[in-house]
Amino acid sequence: MHATLKPEASTSSADPVLRVDNLKAYYQMNYFGVSREVRAVDDITLTIRRNEIYGIAGESSSGKSSLIKTIAGAIRPPLRVVSGSVRFDFDGRTLDVYNDPEAMKAARWRHLSYVMQGSMNVLNPVRRVKHAFHDFAFRHMGLSPSAFRARVEAHLERIGLDPQVLESYPHQLSGGMRQRLAIGLATVCEPEFIIADEPTTALDVLVQQDVLALIKDVQMRLGSSIIFVTHDMTVHAAIADRIGIIYAGRLVEEGPSQAMFEQPQHPYTAHLIASLPRIGDTTRRVSLPGKPPNLADPPSGCRFHPRCPLAIAKCETESPPLVPRGEGRVACWRAGEVAAA
Amino acid sequence: MSALLQLDHVGRSYPVGGFFARRQLQAVKDLSFTLNADRPEIFTIVGESGSGKTTTARMILGNEVPTSGVIRFLGQDVAAIRSRKDRLAFMAKVQPIFQNPFEAFNPLTTLDFYLYSTARRFLGLRTRAEIEAAADKALQHVGLSLVEVRGRYSHELSGGQLQRIAVARALIPSPKLIVADEPVSMVDASLRMSIVNLFRTLRDDLGVTIIYITHDLSTAYYISDRVIIMHKGDVIEAGDARAVLGNPSEDYSRALRNAVLPPDPVAARRIIEARLERRRAALTEAGT
Amino acid sequence: MDGFAKYLARRFLQFILVIFLGVSLAFLITHLSPVDPVEQSVSLMTNFGATDPRSVALLREALSELYGLQGSFFEQYLAFWGRVLHGDFGPSLSSFPTPVMSLIMGALPWTVGLLTLSVLISWCLGNLLGALAGYFRSNLLLKLSGAAVMALHPVPAYIVGLLLLLTFGFVWPVLPISGGAQMNLQPGFSLAFVGSVIVHGLLPALTLVLVGIGSWFISMRSLVSNIVTDDHVVYAELGGVSSGTIFSQYVARNALLPQLTGLALSLGNVFGGAVITEFLFNYPGVGRLLIQGIYSGDYSLVLGVTTMSIVAVAVAVFVIDLLYPLIDPRVRLG
Amino acid sequence: MFSILRDLLRFNVEFLIGFLLTGTIFLFAAAHFFAPYPDTAIYLLPPDMPPSAEFWLGTTSRGQDVFWQISGAIWNTMTFGLTVMILSRIVALAVGMVSGYLGGKADEVLMTINDTLIALPNIPILLLVYFVMRDQMTWPLLALTAALLGWNYDARLIRSVTLSLRNREFTRHAVFAGMSVPQVLIRQHLPYVMPVVFFTAMNNLIWAIGLEVTLSVLGFSDVNRPTVGGMIYWANQHQAAVSGIWWWLVFPIVAVVLLFLGLFLLAISINEYIDPRSRLSRMGG
Amino acid sequence: MLFKNLLAAILLTAASVLPAGAQDFIAGIPRNETLIVQGPPAQNAEWFNLWAPGGGASNDGLQQLTADTFWFINPDGTGDQAWTNALAADRPQYNADFTEMTVKLKDGIFWSDGVPFTADDVVYTVETQIAHPGMGWSAPFTVNVDRVEATDPHTVVFHLKAPNSRFHTLFTVRWNAAWIMPKHVFEKVADPLGFNNNPPVSLSAYVLQSYDKAGNWAIWKLRDDWQRTSIGMGLKEPPQVKYVVYRNAGNPDARVIEQLNHNLDVINDIAPEGMFTIARKAGDNMAAWFPGFPFAHPDPTLPSVLFNHQVKPFDNADVRWALALMIDIRSVAMGAYRGAANLAALSTPPTGIAVPDYYEPMQDWLQGFELNTGTRTIKPYDPTIAEQVAALVRPQWGESIPSDPAKLKTMFGFGWWKQDVQAATELLQKAGFTKQGNQWMMPDGKPFAIRLMVEGDNIPTLARAGTIIAQQWSMQGIKTTVDVAGPTNGQRLGAGDFEAAIYWSVETWGGHPDLSFFLDSYDSAYIAAPGKTQPPRNLQRWKSDKLDAIIAENRKIAFDSPKVIELGRDYLKLAVEEMPFIPLMAYNKFAPFDTTYWTGYPSAADPYAASGPFWSNLRYMIVALKQNPNAPKP
């Protein structure tokens, strides 16, 4: 095993680069009298350390995407931050995403970059790719135009892209190339922190493998922290140092990936892992009963209880707190019993 | 043995490219296989994007016409079915399941309308009660009931539920063949297995043959009877699913097989690590 | 390239077909007109003098022969196409025997100059304001100018022109309200003449700009408000790209592409003249010529103008279709 | 239906203002049915009276009450404009959707017709048709003619929307659910096309009213029927603009602008309401 | 920022350009030597061939200022002062049976290119036109002239195909006439019909200076040898108007604005309201036919309600009379002209010599005229209409309206028919009509409805009159709709494609009592079959044996015979009895003059010449104008 690929998290440093405290972000909608409040991010606290890949997992509309958008400061009405804070620590300076907009704007791309889902649409379709690099990165680099160009080309080569792509229009590139380009764009300034929203979803298996390797490569080289979202547990298994499981807007379990796959603490996590098919195994997989909760009207108590095989009376009334357990944290009244089940 | 579906050296090419540089893309090349009418099975087509698997599905459904070869369904040339009456008769026997359940249902149309329309058009039912009974019966097959669906819109249900409703709708005319194009790729992992399990039930209990089109080798392995692996329009490998997927013989199939990330951090990391090593080696080589 | 050639051939065929159908329709309608050019000439020549009924009959006969209006409808139609293919619309009936073409050519520079400029100005201004208003939604100045444009939009051209005419010709008489240039000034590229043309064009041009700006504004604003929610715009904002760059390179640039088709159509329509504005300001353009032609039953003239306009619009659409791939990289490269 | 109206009124300021404006003008226009004098009657009142307590909007040089003239004129002009708008919307919808959905030969034929009509210059054609029809040129016929000239550009827009809908999965799904072409077009595609229809409807209405005024100014109007263009026509005949009878021209224009603003606000708020995106977010999900 | 810059740029441009725009109305021509006249837009502006169709500048000064012929009649004049010998040295001389006309020409007249004008030009004019059908006077020459000869350079003899005592009228200008062609120019041309005659040589005092190819203006300059023209010979002083500018001044509003801005000295036609605006705003700088209300100049044409006698029930004189009696002429005068109408009960325009020859002497007859309604006889004439109209306009115009009935008659007309609904009812009943509720039914049981055709905005006052008459008839139970015919008006009138129309079928010399100008064409021989085109004048297709007799009699006598007036009166009486059309008034034109630069315009008080810009008689006004000493100095 290669030394740098140890699954153990955060060996290099333990100081947090991102602190999310009691973050609540709700969709507050009012359409012609239909008022709805969707608690997409409901009281989430987490920290991400330097040089760490933190994966966020959960099913669709669990709020994982809203969480990452809120962290990135990429929210638009009707999604609003209700309370809590998102703070980054760059160069010893603390930046509150929602209190220092100017400083945040200056820090973007230099310290903090973003890889979006659907790389198809993130690049301006009517301009050549090189303009995107110029617009996003030029002012941070302090280089002459030609030196900048050289730097960008070198960077692209390093991630396995022909610098010729700079002269292309986005739609001329394949999905895999675009996704690689998006990662190239996000890393050209060598930021400390990268936010990635479903970076490999909708990619073919071979390309996905390639892109994951690229992300890992870049991360190791730059020593950046990455927070990324995907519903695909196998992707988390492949590159996340730690994983946070979101269910119905809440963080229900968090822990080092190895430990989580070996011994999930929350019944939902356990189910997610158990339902994964694997080649060579045709034993019948059971699926989770019931349907995902409606965030506009979530279940009482533990939000997972209607679908939980271990649910007891207490789960219906009392919401379990997220408490440390083992190497991570878990929010479940019967956390100890999951592994046994 | 009578053939339910027979593809005989089927090919399909498109003009592609932009305004000034057009060329022909051979999306499917010389594809042949036969499904037996007497023995229902799950026949899987595995391939990445651009492999031609979706084009194949569209040709089988009659949405596209092969540029070469013939597709016969119960002996009839699919491409020759033109009149609305014949189309309806054909559609009663061959039904699709689409990739994205949120896309497959118009968000502004209630879900039950699809069920009712199918029942009315293919079963010739007229009264409200008959139609609802048919819809309910089909929903029961997928573990739902009309009460849960009536008057609902697609956004009110989860992807897994929608996909099951899509299956139920396809079942209403008692089709012989269901063509499912990437039916689980947009469904959450936790719900994916419920759909896949459903296909098994359909095959075993209702005797429906299913063409399952996917890029996901693990679910393909999980439910398929037979499989073909396509790459850039060509069939790379074909045969019994367990044999082909468990132990692929062609390079491409093997690469595909090896790219599947296992749900195990140690093993998964090893795959990424190996890929990374190759990348670095390639870059170093290029650098020197 | 094979595909492109095929596309070109098909598109060209359609282009020809559009012109053929359009001109034929115009021919049909003009020839159904109840205004008889012979009668118009007869009444012009007899209205004010002592008239002997016998000589009127004689005159009518002579003119009818002179104007070449004998022959069946279909024969006239064939003869018409025969002439048009040679770029000739025949003699004008109300200005016999001056060729229609030379009448149109006399009026065309005026109209083309006036309308091309006004269309371009209103297009640029409307799109700029619309894009700004769509992007900077909360800017008060933009909101106000938007409201002004919106209020102006439904006001008919005639009223806008009349208001300008009254304002600058009557209340504050500083601008010429009639004609294309100062009287007794010989046309040419002299400073005096060009200056005079510009001054005379100000009010009609302003009318056209004010009238035209609204629809560009509205469509651009709605295009922009759709584009601002596109991923690439959101992404650029997340990338800390300056709002000026986002506005010009990410928003306006994308929104302008569909507007180009509209611009081409408007420019094609230039050849039909601006009937009301030219009528009001007595501008010596094609629009006024057209009205005169209609009034005097000069269907050669009307048909000439209409045909020119049809061809111009068809060409404009054809050209923009051909140019579009050069303008929009998505179409070019698929 | 009523609850939609209530929701719109309660929760959308734009709709409220638009509704009030349009409603007021509509009531004002409808009031002409109860006018104290027939709207074609002339010289019943002292001419040229400026706005006053007795004649709120003054009187014309023809001895008509401007208030009641505008009332009838707005009604007639609106009827004309709306007729043109609705007729041309129907044609645009039918042609655009059928052309976009069916594609192929049908599309080529329809689009060639469409392009031909785009190339035809409107004003001369309308004037000529007016000449040809003369006495028979009643306003419904004129509206029909205008409608036939006014749908083509919008049909292209609708076609492009339908074209993109045609390849959506739900369209194919609908076909496999046995829905017929009209069912697919009306049930599945129409909701997505409606915003385009509404958006273009406003421009079309403006165009139609502008056309009515243009024809009237050029002297092509039925003088027996008061319209906004007709009022301008008669004001011109009496040189109201230079004679200082400003109320004869200004008030009808103000009424048209207010009416348009009202309709525009209604259109954008209804558009927001029926827009699939907004409907979906309203429904949740 | 952008807006500010843009705004600044616009303002700056405006500031620098606007004053330039206001300066120098006509390039290079002194304003105080220039008369600016409203002309029509010239289509085909480069066409100066007056003798062939082709549009061009004919009415933009070409015929008014450069063409000449034998005689002129001033339509506003009376007696001998109305007659002018132009190219002819004397009045026309006919032989006894009117088959030969001899014209003596003045000596010393030259074309503007220095070629002398001779009898050969006249002969050439007639012969060339006969040889080229389609030329303007080709048809009347062909019909009338057997042979023309120049017996000496200053004598022309016309040999006619048939007796015609009015042949000279072809060469007598009221509005225009057969103009003499320059033989030395046209004889070099292969096709006189296709020749644009650009630039034209002039036979009169002015010559073309420059013109707008777009047809918006044409400028004429006084000839250096102006004395060598028929008009110049008679002048004692040189004309002060050096330049005449015919310009298309746009719509009526623009005309008013331009005159108030002193950019248009002579207006041809505006609405009464525009006239009032000028009167109000221009103050002393304005002149008009009447110095105060009603301002308007009455043209010798007679707007009437025309009926198509070939359409039932308009063939019935009782119906026509009933319709006439339903009209309240005061409302018509007020509505059409704001009271400024010169009303006419007789079928000839109350202008020029018609006043002393017809209107004044026939007042007694009119007052005594009795109409049989079927149940009784009434005397429908109301001689006090002028006073009644005066009373209606006095609130607005106050003291400027005189109280002397004689003066009022010159302003508002001599009288008209009193509105008499009862008599109209009786007449309709006599004609077999019945009334159901407030709706008249025709004898065949159908509702009596009328489509009243008007031309529209070309002649707004008549359209306005039409709407009022329609309203009055409608109120009396005959549903009348106004039908705007626009440019098709002339054709529809000619083709008989109308029921009733507001137009005129009577035009006179104005300055001469002979009515043959229109009356000759009323001969029943010329009446076209229904649907066929009727030659001009008898648009109502009135057929009457008595009328035919009058026409035949009139043809036999000489133009200047005193019997002409007697026959005229016979015709007028017949027209009152049969009411073939309802005469309304003279065609009053509001044609104000700007006196800032020029004074001495003709007026009701001094009607020395016609003043309508399109009238060829205008030349006599132009040479008589005097510079205003108070004009702004250039």
pLDDT score recorded for residue B187: 79
Chain B, chain C: beta-carbon pairs less than 8 Å apart:
28
Query: Are C210 and C74 members of one domain?
Result: no
> For chain D, what is the domain count?
1
- What is the Cα–Cα distance from E278 to E592, expressed in whole angstroms? 8
| E21, pLDDT greater than 70 | no
**C173–E257 C-beta distance less than 8 A:** yes
Give the structural domain span for A341.
268-276+299-341
Domain at E298-588, CATH class: alpha beta
CATH number for the domain spanning A140: value is: 3.40.50.300
Mean pLDDT computed over D137-146: 88
**C232–A122 C-beta distance less than 8 A:** yes
pLDDT score recorded for residue B21: 60
Closest by CA to A177, choosing from A161, A197, A191, is A161
CATH number for the domain spanning D106: value is: 1.10.3720.10
Chain A, chain D: beta-carbon pairs less than 8 Å apart:
25
Q: Any CB–CB contact under 8 A between D169 and chain B?
A: yes
pLDDT confidence band for B132 (50 / 70 / 90) = very high
- pLDDT, tens digit, for every residue of B212-266? 999 888 889 999 999 999 998 899 999 999 899 888 888 999 988 888 888 888 8
Q: Which residue of A has its CA nearest to B255?
A: A206
Query: Are C79 and C104 members of one domain?
Result: no
Query: Are C121 and C170 members of one domain?
Result: yes
**E464–D224 C-beta distance less than 8 A:** no
pLDDT confidence band for E632 (50 / 70 / 90) = confident
Give the structural domain span for D162.
21-31+59-282
Query: Are A203 and A272 members of one domain?
Result: no
E chain contacts of residue C176, beta-carbon cutoff 8 Å: 21
- What is the Cα–Cα distance from E334 to E29, expressed in whole angstroms? 42
B chain contacts of residue D284, beta-carbon cutoff 8 Å: 155-156
More confident residue, C137 or A83: A83
Chains E and B touch (3+ CB pairs under 8 A): no
- pLDDT, tens digit, for every residue of E542-596? 999 999 999 999 999 999 999 999 999 999 999 999 999 999 999 999 999 999 9
Mean pLDDT computed over C319-333: 75
**Amino acid making up residue C214:** G
pLDDT confidence band for D104 (50 / 70 / 90) = confident
Residues 266-285 on D with a CB inside 8 Å of A are 273, 278, 281-282, 284
CA distances from E536 to C108, E167, E490, E544 (A): 37, 18, 9, 17
Q: Which residue of C has its CA nearest to A171?
A: C330
Q: Where are the alpha helices (DSSP H) in chain D?
A: 2-11, 13-30, 66-102, 104-119, 122-133, 139-149, 152-166, 169-176, 181-183, 190-217, 228-237, 240-243, 246-274, 276-283
**C63–E139 C-beta distance less than 8 A:** no
Asked whether residue A289 is domain-assigned, the answer is: no
* Residue A90 three-state SS: strand
CA distances from E91 to B229, E101, E148, E585 (A): 115, 10, 18, 32
pLDDT confidence band for E398 (50 / 70 / 90) = confident
pLDDT score recorded for residue A4: 40
pLDDT score recorded for residue A3: 37
Query: Which two structure tokens, joined as six digits, stand for C124?
Result: 């640029």
**B107–D276 C-beta distance less than 8 A:** yes
- pLDDT, tens digit, for every residue of D150-184? 898 889 889 988 988 888 889 999 999 989 899 99
Closest by CA to B59, choosing from B22, B3, B8, is B8
| A289, pLDDT greater than 90 | no
Query: Are C198 and C286 members of one domain?
Result: yes
**B191–A287 C-beta distance less than 8 A:** yes
Mean pLDDT computed over E413-420: 95
Asked whether residue A140 is domain-assigned, the answer is: yes
Count CB atoms within 10 A of the CB of residue C300.
Answer: 27
**D249–C156 C-beta distance less than 8 A:** no
**B153–D283 C-beta distance less than 8 A:** yes
Q: Any CB–CB contact under 8 A between A2 and chain B?
A: yes
Query: Domain limits of chain E?
Result: 298-588
Q: Which residue of A has its CA nearest to B162?
A: A291
Q: Which residue of B has its CA nearest to C332?
A: B19
Query: Are C63 and C158 members of one domain?
Result: no
pLDDT confidence band for A340 (50 / 70 / 90) = very low
- What is the Cα–Cα distance from E588 to A55, expressed in whole angstroms? 94
Query: Are A126 and A207 members of one domain?
Result: yes
Query: Are A272 and A257 members of one domain?
Result: no
- pLDDT, tens digit, for every residue of C168-218? 988 888 888 888 888 878 777 788 888 888 888 899 999 999 988 988 998
Contact of E120 with E185, CB cutoff 8 Å: no
Q: Any CB–CB contact under 8 A between C244 and chain A?
A: no
- pLDDT, tens digit, for every residue of E319-345? 999 999 999 999 999 989 999 999 999
> For chain C, what is the domain count?
2
Q: Any CB–CB contact under 8 A between A325 and chain B?
A: no
Asked whether residue D3 is domain-assigned, the answer is: no
Percent of chain E with pLDDT strictly greater than 90: 67
C chain contacts of residue E21, beta-carbon cutoff 8 Å: 174-176, 199-200, 202
Query: Residue D168 contacts by C-beta under 8 Å, 6 or more apart in sequence?
Result: B103
Give the structural domain span for C78.
35-86
Mean pLDDT over the full length of chain B? 88
Asked whether residue C81 is domain-assigned, the answer is: yes
**Amino acid making up residue E506:** V
pLDDT score recorded for residue E4: 56
Q: Any CB–CB contact under 8 A between C253 and chain A?
A: yes
- pLDDT, tens digit, for every residue of E181-240? 999 999 999 989 889 898 999 999 999 999 988 888 999 999 999 999 999 998 989 999
Least Cα separation, residue C278 to chain D (angstroms): 12
CB-closest option in A160, A261, A292 to B158: A292
Q: Any CB–CB contact under 8 A between B275 and chain A?
A: yes
Asked whether residue D37 is domain-assigned, the answer is: no
CB-closest option in C230, C238, C333 to A108: C238
Asked whether residue A293 is domain-assigned, the answer is: no
Q: Any CB–CB contact under 8 A between B63 and chain D?
A: yes
Least Cα separation, residue C105 to chain D (angstroms): 18
pLDDT confidence band for E13 (50 / 70 / 90) = low
* E294 burial type by CB count under 10 A (0-12 exposed, 13-18 middle, 19+ buried): buried
More confident residue, E433 or C10: E433
More confident residue, A177 or B180: B180
Query: Are A213 and A327 members of one domain?
Result: no
Across A129-148, b (16+ Cβ under 10 Å) vs e yields bbbbbbbbbbbbbeeeeeeb
Question: D touches which chains (3+ CB pairs under 8 A)?
Answer: A, B, C, E
Query: Which two structure tokens, joined as six digits, stand for A334?
Result: 């019967």
Question: B touches which chains (3+ CB pairs under 8 A)?
Answer: A, C, D
What residue has token string 């059971």?
A286
Query: Are C80 and C125 members of one domain?
Result: no
Query: Which two structure tokens, joined as six digits, stand for D81?
Result: 């404009």
Q: Any CB–CB contact under 8 A between D284 and chain B?
A: yes
D chain contacts of residue C17, beta-carbon cutoff 8 Å: 112, 116
Chains A and E touch (3+ CB pairs under 8 A): no
Query: Are A120 and A49 members of one domain?
Result: yes
pLDDT confidence band for B19 (50 / 70 / 90) = low
**C185–E521 C-beta distance less than 8 A:** no
- The answer to which of B75-84, D269-278, E135-144, E395-404 has the lowest mean pLDDT is D269-278
**D173–B98 C-beta distance less than 8 A:** yes
Query: Are C269 and C221 members of one domain?
Result: yes
**D10–A33 C-beta distance less than 8 A:** yes
Q: Any CB–CB contact under 8 A between C243 and chain A?
A: no
Query: Are A228 and A307 members of one domain?
Result: no
- pLDDT, tens digit, for every residue of A65-78? 889 989 988 887 77
CATH number for the domain spanning C154: value is: 1.10.3720.10
**B16–C334 C-beta distance less than 8 A:** yes
Q: Any CB–CB contact under 8 A between D277 and chain B?
A: no
**C52–E140 C-beta distance less than 8 A:** yes
Mean pLDDT computed over D4-16: 79
**C306–D112 C-beta distance less than 8 A:** no
pLDDT score recorded for residue B16: 67
Query: Domain limits of chain B?
Result: 3-287
CB-closest option in D117, D218, D257 to C291: D218
**D125–C306 C-beta distance less than 8 A:** yes
**C159–D249 C-beta distance less than 8 A:** yes
Least Cα separation, residue E335 to chain D (angstroms): 7
- pLDDT, tens digit, for every residue of D173-223? 999 998 989 999 998 899 889 888 888 888 898 889 888 888 888 878 787
Residue B143 backbone dihedrals phi, psi, to 5 degrees: 80, 25
More confident residue, E23 or C268: C268
- What is the Cα–Cα distance from B199 to B204, expressed in whole angstroms? 9
Count CB atoms within 10 A of the CB of residue B41.
Answer: 18
Give me the DSSP letters along B173-196: T--SEEEEESTTTTS-HHHHHHHH
Asked whether residue D25 is domain-assigned, the answer is: yes
Q: For chain B, report the end-to-end CA distance as a whole number of angstroms.
A: 61
CA D264 to chain centre: 11
Q: Which residue of C has its CA nearest to E523?
A: C53
pLDDT confidence band for E14 (50 / 70 / 90) = low
Asked whether residue A290 is domain-assigned, the answer is: no
Query: Residue E34 contacts by C-beta under 8 Å, 6 or more apart in sequence?
Result: E26, E241, E242, E243, E244, E245, E597
Report the complex ipTM: 0.83
What residue has token string 């059409």?
E336
Q: Which residue of D has its CA nearest to B175?
A: D176
| D22, pLDDT greater than 60 | yes
C chain contacts of residue B24, beta-carbon cutoff 8 Å: none
pLDDT confidence band for E603 (50 / 70 / 90) = very high
pLDDT confidence band for D282 (50 / 70 / 90) = low
Hey, what CATH topology would domain B3-287 get?
A: Rossmann fold (3.40.50)
pLDDT score recorded for residue A67: 92
